[in-house]
Structure 1
């Protein structure tokens, strides 16, 4: 199967996810900047989650450039990733509503870890389908960036129930690690 439908569907789902997140905002009652203060936790959560969605869209775009065709396993692995990404608006809304309380921070970490694991599975399915000579296999290497991210998510999840601020800092650090699109694929693609 060609990859076009998988890419188009994924792009559409990601666009809807971002739209759902922004619809969580309600207009404040008053007309001053002070009236916006209660929205600050929601805005901060939205910004972080928007960055995460953008990171996944960017890297998914690069990932799909490494393949010409897909199979059923890749389609299901992609749906698995979209499932976890679709939970981000719920986790973000709860995070903002609770002003970064323990359990919402814990759930947010679980969702981010689920996204990371699903992306890893999608990569592995593509590599298995394409073979060990594939562009993706040669680009990803040992995937130290991915392993470090998962470790930081696990640490953040553990801290969420005790010191949520540390969890938030770790979630931000992982986002910064991935903010620049993964150049490994781009570099190998241009050779």
Structure 2
């Protein structure tokens, strides 16, 4: 089975996720600058989440550019990833209104962590389904960047119990790490 339908479905789901996030952005009731500035945390949470969804879309695109074939396990692993990504709009809205509170900050980190775990699982299943010469196997290697990301998410979730703003810094560091996609995949396609 080729990757075309999986990619099209995934692109559609990711587009819907971004649409839901932008629909959660509510304009201020009043028309003064203070009312607009009061929405800053909501807008910043939207920006971060948009970047995260963009990172996943970009990496997903690269992953399936190099993937030669898919099976049922890959389809289910992809749905698993899309499930966790679909929770980003909820946690984005929650953290945007409550960015200094433990539970919203922790929940945002948990969703990001499970997105990373789901992506790791998807990648591992794809690699396992292909032969030993599969280019992705060489490109990914030990996936140090992915493992560091998960460790930083865990540190962020743990730090949310003491200082929620420190957790946000950890989440931001992971986003910065992934803003530039891995060019090794592009050279293999």
TM-score, length basis structure 2: 0.97
- Residues 12-161 of structure 1: pairs in structure 2 closer than 5 A: 12-161=12-161
8 Å Cα contact 2:91/2:104 also seen in 1:
yes
C-alpha separation in 2, matches of 1:150 and 1:187: 26
Counterpart for residue 177 of structure 1: 177
What is the alpha-carbon distance in structure 2 between the residues aligned to residue 144 and residue 27 of structure 1? Answer: 41
Q: SS of 1:120's equivalent?
A: helix
1:151 Cα offset (Å): 0.6
Moved over 4 A (4+): none
Offset at 1:99?
A: 3.1
How far, CA to CA, are the matches of 1:105 and 1:99 in structure 2? 6
Q: CA deviation at 1:182?
A: 1.6
Deviations 1:85-141 (A, max 9, x none): 000000111101113311111000100000000000000110011122101101101
Partners of 2:24 and 2:39 in 1: CA distance: 11
CA RMSD of aligned residues (A): 0.9
User: What corresponds to 1:164 in structure 2?
Assistant: 164
Three-state SS of the structure 2 residue aligned to 1:65 is helix
Would you say the 8 A contact 1:138–1:188 is kept in 2?
no
Cα distance per residue 1:13-42 (max 9 Å; x no partner): 000000000111112112222211221111
In the alignment, structure 2 segments of 5+ residues that lack a partner are none
Equivalent residue, structure 2, for 1:6: 6
> How many Å separate the matches in 2 of 1:37 and 1:172?
21
- 5+ residue gaps, structure 1: none
2:99–2:105 Cα contact (<8 Å) kept: no
Give the alignment's TM-score, normalised by structure 1: 0.96
Contact 1:41/1:100 (<8 A) preserved:
no
